[in-house]
Structure formats: C-alpha cells, structure tokens
C-alpha cells in the first residue's frame, strides 16, 4: 500500500468515527477568555492553571534575555540563566540536580529511551501520558501496564520474574481524569521490587503541595525520577528532570535529546525563573483556583454526565460517545463557553468527555456562566 493510500484510509476511518481533530486559530487568549473567528468566549480549556502566562513579572522576565540559545547546551546554549533555573528547581524540590528539556514530551522520551534496555521492564499506569507510553513502546524493554491507580495490579505485575531492571511510571495528577496517584503505595511497591519510580507531575507542579511543590511533595514521596513541565501552571513551556548527581551526569553524557538539540531560549529560562518565584509565593493564586474548583463541583452535582472524583483543576464530564461529546461542546460554545471535547485515542473508547479546566484567572461569575450553560444543555 502506498503512503498516500494508507493516509487516505486512516483519515477516512477517523472521520467516520467522529474523531476528526480540528484546530481553530485563536486570535487572543488571556487564559480567562479567548477570541476565535471574531467571537469572544470564556475559556475552560487552558492548562495555565494559575494564569501565569499573563503575569507581568513573567512577561518582563521573558524580555530580559535573548529569544534564541544559538546552540545546544553542550556547545554554548547553556547560559547562566539556565544554570540558575536548574539550581533553584533542584533546591526547591529537594533534589541534587535538575536538567532542563525543551518540552515535557522531549523529557519523557529522553528519559525512557536512555534508561530502558533489553531485558528491562517498564510498568506504567494504563492512563499514563502518550509521551511516556510511546517512548516505552519504542525501547527494547518490555512494556506492561497496570490498572489505573491500582497498587494491587502493579504489585501483581512486579511479582513476575524479570532479569533486568524495573521502571515504574505514573503521573502525579492525571491529565484527562484529574485524579491523583497513590504515590506512597506505588513508590513502596516499586522499591520492594528494586525498581525505580518515574513520576510525571505535569499537572501537579505549581498547583498542589506546600509552595506549589507538587504531588510528590504533598504525598511525602521522593521518586528517583521526577518530571515537571512548564507549559501548565508555570504558564510558559519546557520541562525539567529532577534526579541525583549520577543520573544527571549520565543524562548529560548520553542523552541525545540534550546533546543534539538547541537549548531552551535564555528568554524562556528567564521567564521561568520569574514564574517559579510567583509559584513559590502563590498561595493566593492557589486559593483562588481552589475556590473556583469548589464552586464548579458544587454547581455541577446535579448534571446528568458523570463528574470524575477529581479535586484538581481538571474537571472532566464523561459524555460517552464522540458525537454526543462534540455536540455538547458545540452547544457550550454557542453559549459563549469554550470547552474542548476529548475523544479516543486520547481517552479510552466510550469515554469521550468535556475536559473542563479551571484556573485562578476565572471569576466566580465565569464559573456560574459555565454552570448555567451546562444546566441549559442538560435540560
Ligand atoms: C502536557 C503533558 C506532557 C507534555 O508536556 P509538554 O511540555 O507540553 O510537551 C507530558 N506529560 C503529561 C502528563 C502532560 O500532561
């Protein structure tokens, strides 16, 4: 079959399943609202949970340095700003070292690729992010998945014999469900099997835990490998791996993602330093977010769609079929609320949903407007 035929068939299948993904150009986006195709909406599909992408200090930070690093970090792309950011991240999260990556996706690919060799096994939560599962699938190691947040299921998989090393993978707060992993029990199970734990805390860092230190800090767990990303609560972009000295040295020597790729722009490192400062002193922002979450959950209790047991900024409403989820999303858009429908394969078949996200930038009135639109759509 030719590339063209193969592509045409895949596209046809996707269209037929109401799975077509449409990008719509956004003219303006201030986290609380967005404008597209000449219309203004309240924005409930942003991961900018604290609204920091709009923060004057973060914007000023970006303006303080160059928009391009000019080289890989191993040549001349690693600036004093990068070094300062790594040092502050490591200190803040209680690790010896932090290593910056240009994105969470790249960080996860790099880590899994570099660690997992033949005879090793990767045991990942079924709902772990695509960047982790894809990477695992492309290594010579065996990939097994355990039932979502199920320590018993992980323990069973760990009990089967393995000649190599074991890497257990989970997220702090799950991106499409909004629930938290039982990190203490998962870490204990991994340790009993002499395995390492990798926690991707893309949605917890900045938002939960003392000073926003994330899910691991909140649960008193220190995984061997902690990934934090900066495209969500930090309001910018990029990621870091937190680890010990030997692991950091190993990555610097051998990670092709670090060696053969241009370093993060210095302007970005500078903006991230400002964002980190706002996060550390961000109790008021976290409180506002928490109030918005509570307000939404109280108001959504009577809706006909299943509300997930989530205490996080991610509040999905499970609709079921793709067409129904799309129709509900469209209905809300007509009412001025932008909520994207999320469909398989991003989520399991039959669980298409509205992934509602709340932020500190929303006002009480905004939440009420969304609730009213949802109740109208239900009635
Ligand atoms: C968003 C996300 C990523 C990818 O991070 P980027 O910096 O956007 O590439 C990785 N893991 C999880 C759990 C995510 O939600």
Domain definitions of the chain by residue range: 24-50+282-378, 54-280
Radius of gyration of the chain (CA): 21
Question: CATH number of 54-280: 3.90.226.10, 3.40.640.10, 3.40.630.20, 3.20.20.100?
Answer: 3.40.640.10
Ligand 1 atom 3: residue of nearest CA: 104
Question: Position of tokens 């709009």?
Answer: 54
Omega cis (within 30) before 371: no
| DSSP type of residue 312 | S
Provide mean pLDDT across the span 281-286.
98
Q: What is the mean pLDDT of the chain?
A: 96
Active-site residue, 47 included: yes
Question: Which CATH class name applies to 24-50+282-378?
Answer: alpha beta
pLDDT tens column, 225-276: 999 999 999 999 999 999 999 999 999 999 999 999 999 999 999 999 999 9
Q: Cα of 200 to ligand 1 centre, how many Å?
A: 8
Candidate of 110, 229, 238, 342 to mutate for ligand 1, largest count of ligand atoms within 8 Å of Cβ: 229
Q: Which of the four pLDDT bands, split at 50, 70 and 90, describes residue 306?
A: confident
Please check whether residue 144 is in contact with residue 157, taking contact to mean a CB–CB distance below 8 angstroms.
yes
- From the CB of residue 71, how many other CB atoms can be counted at a distance below 10 Å? 12
Ligand 1 site residues, Cβ closer than 6 angstroms: 103-105, 108, 129, 131, 171, 175, 200, 202-203, 229, 231, 239
**pTM of the predicted model, to two decimals?**
0.96
Q: Cα of 20 to ligand 1 centre, how many Å?
A: 22
What per-residue confidence (pLDDT) applies to 18?
Answer: 83
List the one residue out of 277, 283, 314, 318 whose CA is nearest residue 296. Answer: 314
Active-site residue, 224 included: no
């Amino acid at each position: 079959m030719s590339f063209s035929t193969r592509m045409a068939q895949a596209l046809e299948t996707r269209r037929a399943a109401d799975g077509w993904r449409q990008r719509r150009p956004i003219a303006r986006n201030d986290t609380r609202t967005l404008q597209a195709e000449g219309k203004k909406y309240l924005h409930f599909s942003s991961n900018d949970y604290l609204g920091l992408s709009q923060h004057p200090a973060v914007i000023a930070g970006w303006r303080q340095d160059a928009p391009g690093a000019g080289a890989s970090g191993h040549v001349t792309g690693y600036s004093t700003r990068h070094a300062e950011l790594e040092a502050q991240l490591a200190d803040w999260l209680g690790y010896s070292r932090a290593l910056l990556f240009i994105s969470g996706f790249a960080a996860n690919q790099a880590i899994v690729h570099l660690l997992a060799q033949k005879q090793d096994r990767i045991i990942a939560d079924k709902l772990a992010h695509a960047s982790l599962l894809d990477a695992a699938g492309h290594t010579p190691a065996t990939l097994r998945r355990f039932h979502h947040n199920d320590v018993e299921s992980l323990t069973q998989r760990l009990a089967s014999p393995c000649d190599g090393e074991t890497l257990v993978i989970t997220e702090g707060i799950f991106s499409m469900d909004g629930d938290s992993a039982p990190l203490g029990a998962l870490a204990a199970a991994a340790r009993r099997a002499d395995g390492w734990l990798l926690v991707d805390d893309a949605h917890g860092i900045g938002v939960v835990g003392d000073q926003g230190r994330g899910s691991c800090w909140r649960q008193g767990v220190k995984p061997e490998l902690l990934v934090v990303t900066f495209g969500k609560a930090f309001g910018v972009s990029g990621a870091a791996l937190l680890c010990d000295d030997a692991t950091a040295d190993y990555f610097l020597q051998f990670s092709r993602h670090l060696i053969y790729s241009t370093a993060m722009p210095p302007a970005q490192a500078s903006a991230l330093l400002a964002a980190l400062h706002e996060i550390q002193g961000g109790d008021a922002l976290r409180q506002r977010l928490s109030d918005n979450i509570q307000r939404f959950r109280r108001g959504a209790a009577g809706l006909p769609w299943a509300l997930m047991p989530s205490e996080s900024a991610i509040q999905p409403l499970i609709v079921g079929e793709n067409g129904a989820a799309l129709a509900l999303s469209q209905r809300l858009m007509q009412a001025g609320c932008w909520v994207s429908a999320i469909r398989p394969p991003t989520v399991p078949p039959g669980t298409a949903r509205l992934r509602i996200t709340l932020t500190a930038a929303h006002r009480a009135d905004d939440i009420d407007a969304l609730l009213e639109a949802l109740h109208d759509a239900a009635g």
